[in-house]
Amino acid sequence: MKTVGLIGGVAWPSTLVYYRLLNEQVQAALGVPHSARCVIVSLDFAEVLQDMNEGRPQDASARMQAAARQLQAAGAELVAILANTGHFAADAVQKAAGVPLVHIASETSRSIRAQMPQAKRLGILGTSHALKADFFMRAFSEQQAFELVLPDEHERSELDSLIFGELASGHAGAESAAVVNRICANLATRGAEGIVLGCTELAELQAWLSSPVPLFDSTELHARAIVREMLAV
């Protein structure tokens, strides 16, 4: 089993979800009492978010690159960024780590295309920073030929408030999910045939989510891809 280096803390609740998923999936593949070989560098989300909000993505990228070098020094044989938004810096992080990076958007888009080979339009929920970046477009549109249906500006603001507030503090519940459910319904009305939970914090809402079209959790799909690469010969 390869050792995976995880860049977490952005925010901490999703890092907790990843740790559980990775260990559950390693045990499913190898049996009890196996567990995932991993190294975690947990960033201070407040610092990363401030960099992004103040228009200094290069500083946020530098934080993640420094984390990647720490992981490589600790023996990581592959790395993963435990946040969709952080993938704006995926190429720089992989270069800094010097080992392969398991890309959340590429893995998610590939998995959805395999499950929905005829689908044309796909909705994506995420932070405003992620939706403005180009990595979603590259992974879903250029690589897998999906037309993207995105939340409008008001909905993006609602998602930011939810993600950077309640979900970043670990307080997920039905009230938060009601906002996401309404946005999902709107995206489906606009032609989305499936919807990506394109923010790792949204994984915690799944027990309360309902949608008129299939939902795809990028966190779970990413975790499965990470374990696949950890166990690859």
Q: In which band, very low, low, confident or very high, does the pLDDT at 151 lie, cut at 50, 70 and 90?
A: very high
218-232: per-residue pLDDT in tens?
999 999 999 999 999
Same fold, 4-103+221-231 and 104-217: yes
Mean pLDDT of the chain: 95
Q: In which band, very low, low, confident or very high, does the pLDDT at 28 lie, cut at 50, 70 and 90?
A: very high
Q: Which residue has the tokens 């309640």?
A: 166
Task: Return the CATH fold of 104-217.
Answer: Rossmann fold (3.40.50)
Angle at 45 between CA 219 and CA 50, to 5 degrees: 125
What mean pLDDT comes out for the span 29-44? 97
**Torsion on CA atoms 134, 45, 80, 159, rounded to nearest 10:** -50
- What pLDDT was estimated at residue 216? 97
**What single string gives the DSSP state of each residue in the chain?**
-PPEEEEE-TTHHHHHHHHHHHHHHHHHHH-TT----EEEEE--HHHHHHHHHTT-HHHHHHHHHHHHHHHHHTT-SEEEES-SGGGGGHHHHHHHHTS-B--HHHHHHHHHHHH-TT--EEEEE--HHHHHSSHHIIIIIITT-PEEE---HHHHHHHHHHHHTTGGGT---HHHHHHHHHHHHHHHHTT-SSEEE-SGGGGGGGGG---SS-EEEHHHHHHHHHHHHHH--
Whether pTM exceeds 0.85: yes
- What pLDDT was estimated at residue 11? 86
Does the pLDDT of residue 144 top 90, yes or no? yes
- What pLDDT was estimated at residue 170? 82
Write the CATH number of the domain with boundaries 4-103+221-231: 3.40.50.1860
Give the least confident one: 120-129, 164-173, 219-228: 164-173
Does the pLDDT of residue 168 top 90, yes or no? no
70-112: per-residue pLDDT in tens?
999 999 999 999 999 999 999 999 999 999 999 999 999 999 9
- What pLDDT was estimated at residue 171? 81
What mean pLDDT comes out for the span 205-211? 92
d(CA 27, CA 48) in angstroms, rounded, equals: 33
Domain extent listing, the chain: 4-103+221-231, 104-217
- What pLDDT was estimated at residue 173? 85
What mean pLDDT comes out for the span 138-151? 96
Does the pLDDT of residue 119 top 90, yes or no? yes
- What pLDDT was estimated at residue 44? 94
Residue 198 burial (C-beta neighbours within 10 Å; 0-12, 13-18, 19+): buried
Q: In which band, very low, low, confident or very high, does the pLDDT at 128 lie, cut at 50, 70 and 90?
A: very high
Does the pLDDT of residue 166 top 90, yes or no? no
Does the pLDDT of residue 169 top 90, yes or no? no
What mean pLDDT comes out for the span 45-51? 92
